Amino acid sequence: MIPVTKPYFPSREKLNTYIDGIYERQWLTNNGELVQELTRRLENYLGVENLLLVSNGTLALQIAYRALGLRDNRAPRHPEAITTPFTFIATASSLKWEGIEPVFADIDPHTWCLDPANIEAAITPNTKAIVPVHVFGNACEVEAIDAIANKHNLKVIYDASHAFGVKYKGESLLKHGDAATLSFHATKLFHTGEGGAIIFKRKEDLERARKMINFGITGPESIEELGINAKMNELQAAMGLCVLDEMEQNLAARAEVWHRYEQALAGTLQLQSRAKALDYNYAYFPVVFKTEAKAVRVAATLKEHGVLARRYFYPSLESVECLNSQKKQAISKNIASRILCLPIYNKLGNAEQKEIIELVNTELAL
């Protein structure tokens, strides 16, 4: 079976060395030595400051909302945040979980990111933030979104789960917004098994969040914040350090797979239009078919031959009942119905990829 992706497994020998150190220090969690080292190295690698490691990407979003004060318990009505319906459920469900109503605005039909032209019409007196997603690692129109946020005094939290290592105009894409969050889930380009991070624009927001992820505890007899347990542990950090050591070879292998797909399929299928001046990370290879029926048929044919493609992101989130959205988002719904992500990972072989491409092209010819 060829999965849609596989976790990257780094050198077992190097991982064992880090684990030996954990056993020697007898320090498993609570801002251990490896978490501190990974924080420093990620800030250096990504070219950012104010990075906070957490236990997963969903909690990264929730902590960011809390640290930036989106929820005011004294307010008579639920706060709102404008976000995209074309994303993984956690973007919206994390808002809902925190008592913030997700309000969907439609996407750009080419980039598949939140369209700034649709944001202002969705703003109400209850709007506290904009939560855009750098979909598949593609940069949102960050300048336009930041301008809208400044005009209406809104916070911006970018869900950058797919944007590890992506640069925009020569600098880290993660520098935009009041905060940007990352997921380090096992299937991500960079991972810690499970894990995540938040990059804050301001040091004071980082410091508040740092308290929050440890129950609000600031000392043996001091609790200053309403907190939760969202800390990354030393075993996660050990995996992350090993993966980071081998990041360049992982990226190079994925880039080769990505470009072979592009060469074979760009002429017959719709690909994502990426932002100009973007240094991409080749994390995903999504394609859009002419009809939903064709996308479903191709997915079924691939599965019959032991290949798993994913309808990612499907369904468009405004159709998810528990999110209570009233307004349909036509472009997101249309793209979501016709999209497939094809398998991509560093060890996808030429022969395996050739088979996938031939199966897709055979279905397209029917």
Contact between 38 and 53 (Cβ < 8 Å) = yes
Per-residue pLDDT tens over the stretch 177-218? 999 999 999 999 999 999 999 999 999 999 999 999 999 998
* Residue 272: closest CA among 264, 284, 263, 260: 284
pLDDT band per the 50, 70, 90 thresholds, residue 267: very high
Q: Is the pLDDT of residue 73 over 70?
A: no
Backbone phi, then psi, for 269, in 5-degree steps? -130, 155
3-state helix, strand, coil in the chain (%, to 5): 45, 15, 40
Global pTM reads 0.96
Q: What is the pLDDT of residues 232-246, one digit of tens each?
A: 999 999 999 999 999
Q: Establish how many alpha carbons lie within 13 A of residue 173's alpha carbon, considering only the half-sphere containing its beta carbon.
A: 30
Residue 48: is its pLDDT beyond 90? yes
What amino acid positions are annotated as catalytic residues? 188
Read off the pLDDT band of 255 (50, 70, 90).
very high
Share of the chain above pLDDT 90, in %: 95
Q: Does 223 have pLDDT greater than 60?
A: yes
Q: Which domains does the chain have, with CATH numbers?
A: 12-244 (3.40.640.10), 246-365 (3.90.1150.10)
Mean per-residue pLDDT of the chain = 96
pLDDT category, 72, cuts 50, 70, 90?
Answer: low
User: pLDDT tens-digit profile of 133-187?
Assistant: 999 999 999 999 999 999 999 999 999 999 999 999 999 999 999 999 999 999 9
